[in-house]
Amino acid sequence: MDTISWANFAYLSLLWVILSLACAGVTQVLKTPIKILWKQRSGKALRGDNLALYQWCIRSLTIGAGIACGIQPHVWPDWVSRSWAVMLGATAGCMSVGVYHAAKMAIPKAIAVLPDALRKRLGG
């Protein structure tokens, strides 16, 4: 069995995080139209079992988007097999909500630190 180098593992991890954020983006874009169509079709507000089914569908949408994006050609490097591409896409979809919230918390903190770091670097 071949082994993977740390550089290839880091590259694959970066691609996985990007795909995971893309799945979260797909969910954010499609969530509202699906909710509107669901309410129009049922004629009442989402509550109880309807709300649970709606949430299950939205969460399944991320997994489906991950698999659909993951099996596209040239998403993963050539050395990643087709079965691993499906697995990586599915896990990226499953973890997209967690990755999205982690990025949502980390990016503003990193931007807040940036002016102080630049001031120290530039001697100000």
pLDDT average, residue stretch 66-77 = 92
CA distance 122 to 94: 42
CA distance 30 to 57: 11
CA 14 → CA 48, 53, 64, distances in Å?
38, 32, 20
pLDDT of residue 1: 39
Question: For residue 41, what are its two tokens?
Answer: 């079709």
pLDDT average, residue stretch 11-26 = 93
pLDDT of residue 82: 92
Higher pLDDT, 112 or 100: 100
pLDDT of residue 23: 93
Tell me the domain boundaries of the chain.
Answer: 6-97
pLDDT of residue 86: 94
pLDDT of residue 111: 83
Cα angle 106, 61, 78; round to 5: 75
- The phi, psi pair for 93, rounded to 5°, reads -65, -40
CA distance 120 to 7: 31
pLDDT of residue 41: 84
The conformation of residue 43, written as its DSSP 8-state character, comes to: -
Residue 10 binned pLDDT confidence (cut-offs 50, 70, 90): very high
Whether the Cβ atoms of residue 97 and residue 73 lie closer than 8 Å to each other: no
Residue 124 binned pLDDT confidence (cut-offs 50, 70, 90): low
Cβ contacts of residue 22 below 8 Å, gap of 6+? 65, 69
Model pTM score: 0.78
Cα angle 91, 97, 100; round to 5: 110
Mean pLDDT rounded to a whole number for the chain: 88
Residue 13 binned pLDDT confidence (cut-offs 50, 70, 90): very high
